[in-house]
Amino acid sequence: MVFRLACGTLALLGAAHAYVWPSPQLDALEAIRFDQVGFNTIGTTLTSFVQPCNLFLFDPTINPNSGRSDAADWIRTAYHDAATHNITDGTGGMDGSIRLAAEQARAENAGNGFSNTMGIVLAVVNRYVSNADAIALGALIAIEACGGPEIAFRGGRVDAAVPNTPGVPVPQQDLDSHIAIFARQGFTQTEMIGLVACGHTFGGVQHSVFPNIVNVLADSTSIDDVAHFDSSPVSFDHNVAAEYIAGTTKNPLVVGFNDTTNSDKRIFGSDGNATMRSFANSPGHFASTCANLFARMLDTVPRGVQLTEVIEPLPVKPASINLVMNGGTLELTGLVRLWNTTQAAAPTVSLLWHDHVGHTGNTTLNFRSTSSSTSGKYSATWYGFNSTVFGNKPLLLDPVAGVTSLGFVVNGVLENQGGLGFAIQDAFMLSQTSCQGGAPLTGRVDVAVRNGVHPTRVYLEQVVTDSVQRISITEIDMTPPLQPIAVNSAYSLWSMNLTDQDMTFTIGAEIHGIKYSTTEPLSFLEFSEAC
- Whether 364 and 490 share a structural domain: no
Instruction: Identify the pLDDT of residue 72.
Output: 98
> What does the alpha-carbon distance between residue 253 and residue 259 come to, in Å, rounded to a whole number?
8
pLDDT of residue 316: 98
Which is it for the CA torsion 309, 310, 315, 319, positive or negative? positive
The confidence band for 220, taking pLDDT boundaries of 50, 70 and 90, is confident
Q: How far apart are CA 291 and CA 287, in angstroms?
A: 6
Residues 507 and 368 in one domain: no
Same domain, 148 and 255: yes
Question: Does residue 179 fall inside a structural domain?
Answer: yes
Residues 257 and 336 in one domain: no
With residue 487 as reference, give the H or E element that holds it.
Answer: none
Q: Is the confidence at residue 390, as pLDDT, over 60? A: no
Q: DSSP of 316-370, one letter per residue?
A: EEEEEEEEEEETTEEEEEEEEEEET--STTPPPEEEEEE-TTS-EEEEEPEEEEE
Most confident range (mean pLDDT) of 6-15, 296-305, 380-389 is 296-305
Say whether both 232 and 287 belong to one domain: yes
Q: Tell me: the pLDDT tens digits for 339-361?
A: 999 999 999 999 999 999 999 99
pLDDT at residue number 437 = 95
Cα angle 338-366-349, degrees, rounded to a multiple of 5: 50
Q: What is the pLDDT of residue 17?
A: 53
Residues 6+ apart with CB under 8 A from 211: none
pLDDT over 70 for what percent of the chain? 95
Are 276 and 346 contained in the same domain? Answer: no
How does residue 495 score in pLDDT terms, banded at 50, 70 and 90?
Answer: very high
With respect to residue 311, please indicate whether it lies within any of the assigned structural domains.
no
At 463 the pLDDT is 96
Cα-flanking dihedrals φ and ψ of residue 318, to 5°? -65, 155
Is residue 21 assigned to a domain? no
Same domain, 213 and 349: no
- CATH code of 69's domain: 1.10.520.10
Q: Is the pLDDT of residue 281 over 50?
A: yes
Q: Residue 206 corresponds to which amino acid? A: Q
Cβ 88 vs Cβ 96: under 8 Å: no
Write out the residue range of the structural domain in which residue 434 sits.
428-530
**Do 268 and 386 fall into the same domain?**
no
Condensed to tens digits (0 to 9), the pLDDT of residues 308-331 reads 999 999 999 999 999 999 999 999
In whole angstroms, give the CA distance from residue 359 to residue 401. 8
For residues 492 and 64, the model is more confident at 492
225 and 201 both lie in a single domain: yes
Asked whether residue 191 is domain-assigned, the answer is yes
Residue 409 located in a structural domain: yes
Helices 131-145/70-82 angle, 10° precision:
130
Among candidates 151, 133, 165, which has minimal Cα distance to 46?
A: 133
- How far is C-alpha 50 from the geometric centre of its chain's CA atoms? 15
The CATH number of the domain holding residue 403 is 2.60.40
Q: Among 423, 443, 462, which residue terminates a domain?
A: 423
Instruction: Render pLDDT for 175-206 as a digit per residue (tens, 0 to 9).
Output: 999 999 999 999 999 999 999 999 999 999 99
Q: What is the pLDDT of residues 72-118, one digit of tens each?
A: 999 999 999 999 999 999 999 999 999 999 999 999 999 999 999 99
User: Taking residues 229-248, what's their average pLDDT?
Assistant: 99
pLDDT tier, 375 (very low <50, low <70, confident <90, very high otherwise): confident
Are 52 and 191 contained in the same domain? yes
256-269 per-position pLDDT tens digit: 999 999 999 999 99
Under the banding of pLDDT at 50, 70 and 90, the label for residue 393 is confident
Whether omega for the bond prior to residue 64 falls within 30 degrees of 0, making it cis, is no
From 423, 443, 476, give the residue that closes a domain. Answer: 423
- Let me know if residue 8 belongs to a domain: no
Q: Which residues of 313-344 are buried (b: 16+ CB within 10 A; e: fewer)?
A: bbebbbbbbbbbbbeebbbbbbbbbbbebeee
Q: Please count the CA atoms within 13 angstroms of the CA of 87 that sit on its side-chain side.
A: 13
Q: The pTM is what?
A: 0.94
Q: Which residues, other chains included, contact 252 with Cβ-Cβ below 8 Å and sequence gap of 6+?
A: 204, 205, 213, 214, 227, 229
30 belongs to a structural domain? no
- Of 268, 298, 328, which one is at a domain's C-terminal end? 298
Same-domain status, 122 and 98: yes
In a domain, 268, yes or no: yes
Residue 10 to residue 5: CA distance in whole angstroms: 7
Q: 402 with 435, same domain?
A: no
pLDDT band for position 471 (cuts 50, 70, 90): very high
Quote the number of domains for the chain: 3
In 3D, which of 157, 177, 158, 66 has the Cα closest to residue 113? Answer: 66
What value does the mean pLDDT take over residues 58-65?
81
Q: Nearest CA to 367 among 341, 390, 387?
A: 387
Q: Is the pLDDT of residue 510 over 50?
A: yes
Mean pLDDT of 115-142: 97
